[in-house]
Structure 1
């Protein structure tokens, strides 16, 4: 970090603001401060640069607005993690996506259960009330931080092998992508503000904006799975590149 200004050195608030911001940006872009690194507290930056809290707050606010840092109430500011970019017409393997960007992947099963399809299951998956479904709720992590909350239904008539898979070790997303063929898929993309339960599971503030991807797949008209993936909004991008059609 840049040392304090020498006694008697004058700098306009604008110039000093640019110096502080430039120093922090350099630390981040050079990799000295990797994703998840804790930025010094405001009072520490005030002491280092002999400046006011207003100047430091302006710098951190600008860095947060540009996406370089993320502010967490009562915890401080941290270097942002890379956003995942995904084409909306693909069915990604979350484990592969996290590892592809050089981060450590981890997975935790939250809940698993077989049941007769409820009215809500029927609406989500498109099966009749007599169908048997496997309900899976799990958490995907990148570098020890929650990356996606997965809430999935699997149609056991279409995918009976799901009952024999150990989803305490293998993410259902990874297993389905690698083992279950499909002929049709539908994506629905929305946003939500994290309620108390989601905020706790994703380790974010209640009310934080989240990206929600709901997907259903079929094989020759038969429903396979319906999943709802909830991502902290600052960690995910959806990108599609296309050409005009005649």
Structure 2
């Protein structure tokens, strides 16, 4: 009797895509699957809340420093300049959702230096306070090394989706960010129309 009641309760979950049924194996809770648009700059909070999961973030590292050669290459700078380096982990419910590794060009966004990012993560703060006029996305895959696996609570070697984004405002570099999503829990979607010739 209890199993029949359990089956009745699981039907709405299966219809909502939360339960995966495999014949002769059983039913499994499906891991939430998020989407973001390739041609937009979505807020990670919105991605998490679209999964009906509580969102939170933790600022793991915040450091103002002189740009390295790698920083200048990433931001497209010709000369050394001060940058703000930030590492943030975004959680969906009890699980890590995304690791954000960001550089902010302080000559373009000097007000970022006084932000503690305690109430609002840096990506959302930038979208709300700094108008951007151009953006570039690069998408690739990587496997989690030991450090990333520890931060994201996944086994070493887990395949991850990496979105690297650069933004500019009136031709000046604003920020470059690497967003790493573990496993198969995220996908990128683009909708576009044919070009007019």
When normalised by structure 1's length, the TM-score is: 0.70
Q: Name the larger-Rg structure.
A: 1
Deviant stretches of 4+, over 3 Å: 22-28
Tell me the SS of whatever aligns to 1:135: strand
1:29 corresponds in structure 2 to 14
- What is the Cα deviation at residue 214 of structure 1? 0.1
Runs (5+) with no aligned partner, structure 1? 4-21, 36-54, 64-68, 70-78
Partner Cα separation in structure 1 for residue 190 and residue 39 of structure 2? 8
**Is residue 132 from structure 1 mapped to residue 117 from structure 2 by the alignment?**
no
Tell me the SS of whatever aligns to 1:234: coil
1:2 corresponds in structure 2 to 3
Give yes or no for contact 2:82–2:107 (8 Å, CA) kept in 1: yes
1:224 corresponds in structure 2 to 174
Superposition CA RMSD, Å:
2.6
Partner Cα separation in structure 1 for residue 51 and residue 155 of structure 2? 26
**Is residue 185 from structure 1 mapped to residue 135 from structure 2 by the alignment?**
yes
2:194 corresponds in structure 1 to 244
Q: How many residues align?
A: 191
Considering Cα pairs closer than 8 Å and 6+ residues apart, tell me whether 1 or 2 has the greater RCO: 2
Partner Cα separation in structure 2 for residue 200 and residue 168 of structure 1? 23
Which of the two has greater strand per residue? Answer: 2
Runs (5+) with no aligned partner, structure 2? none
**Is residue 123 from structure 1 mapped to residue 81 from structure 2 by the alignment?**
no
When normalised by structure 2's length, the TM-score is: 0.87
Partner Cα separation in structure 2 for residue 129 and residue 83 of structure 1? 41
